[in-house]
């Protein structure tokens, strides 16, 4: 009789262990996709993206091929102020119809002297455009930094004048550091 109880107990333990192993193998689990998003793989063969904080589904960010590159090519005193020569290179697979950033001349005490806005328009893929900006009343030696800002309401690729995300256009432009003066966003 004791032998039967031992065998029954052993069978129950073995069955419970097999069931636990089967459930562990078949349980839902998360993986990270190649784009960095978390994916829940369900035991019934389906999947879904894992929701972010606040119950919002993780937003899919479109991949943007290429970039726009902004270069500071020259700096010289003249015409009553400091002149900067700029070049925008379009390395996107689509045209840049309009990009109008603001450039601020910053003194060494981190105070903005003046700001100038200039535009780059109808720039086809692979092409570049040059622009010249003048900060009147300040010599180049007094400009410690040239800061790029704004550029919102650009028209390039999927961004257009109806895009209201602040800084979205400037995020797609790489600012190349310069030996002439500190040049950044």
**Residue-range definition of the domain harbouring residue 81:** 68-184
Are the CB atoms for 174 and 138 separated by under 8 Å?
no
Residue range 148-165: average pLDDT?
A: 82
Residue range 116-142: average pLDDT?
A: 95
Question: Vertex 41, ends 36 and 46: CA angle to 5°?
Answer: 120
Q: Same structural domain for residues 87 and 148?
A: yes
Q: How confident is the model at residue 64 (pLDDT cuts 50, 70, 90)?
A: low
Domain count, the chain: 2
Residue 63 is assigned to a structural domain of this protein: no
| pLDDT score, position 167 | 85
150: left (phi over 0), alpha (psi -120 to 50) or beta: left
Are the CB atoms for 151 and 170 separated by under 8 Å?
yes
Residue 87 is assigned to a structural domain of this protein: yes
Residues 112-147 as b/e (b if ≥16 CB within 10 A, e otherwise) read ebbebebebeebeeeeebebebbbeebebeebeebb
Q: How far apart are CA 44 and CA 34, in angstroms?
A: 23
Question: Vertex 121, ends 120 and 125: CA angle to 5°?
Answer: 100
Q: Same structural domain for residues 47 and 102?
A: no
Q: Same structural domain for residues 74 and 153?
A: yes
Give residue-wise pLDDT tens across range 78-114. Answer: 989 999 999 999 999 999 999 999 999 999 999 999 9
Q: Same structural domain for residues 8 and 86?
A: no
Sheet of 68-78, strands arranged across: 128-136, 81-90, 68-78, 173-175
Q: Same structural domain for residues 97 and 180?
A: yes
| CATH at 127 | 2.60.40
Q: Same structural domain for residues 89 and 135?
A: yes
| pLDDT score, position 52 | 56
- Evaluate if pTM is beyond 0.75: no
């Amino acid at each position: 009789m004791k032998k039967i109880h031992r065998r029954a107990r052993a069978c129950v333990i073995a069955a419970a262990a097999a069931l636990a192993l089967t459930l562990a193998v078949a349980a839902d689990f998360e993986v990270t996709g190649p784009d960095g998003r978390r994916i829940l793989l369900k035991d019934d063969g389906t999947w879904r993206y894992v929701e972010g904080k606040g119950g919002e589904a993780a937003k899919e960010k479109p991949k943007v091929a290429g970039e726009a590159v902004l270069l500071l090519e020259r700096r010289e005193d003249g015409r009553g102020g400091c002149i900067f020569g700029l070049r925008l290179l379009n390395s996107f697979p689509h045209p840049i119809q309009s990009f109008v950033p603001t450039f601020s001349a910053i003194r060494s005490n981190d105070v903005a002297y003046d700001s100038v806005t200039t535009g780059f328009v109808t720039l086809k893929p692979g092409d570049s455009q040059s622009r010249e900006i003048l900060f009147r009343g300040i010599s180049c030696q007094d400009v410690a930094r040239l800061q790029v800002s704004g550029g919102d309401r650009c028209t390039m690729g999927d961004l257009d004048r109806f895009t209201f995300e602040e800084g979205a256009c400037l995020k797609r432009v790489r600012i190349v550091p310069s030996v002439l003066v500190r040049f950044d966003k």
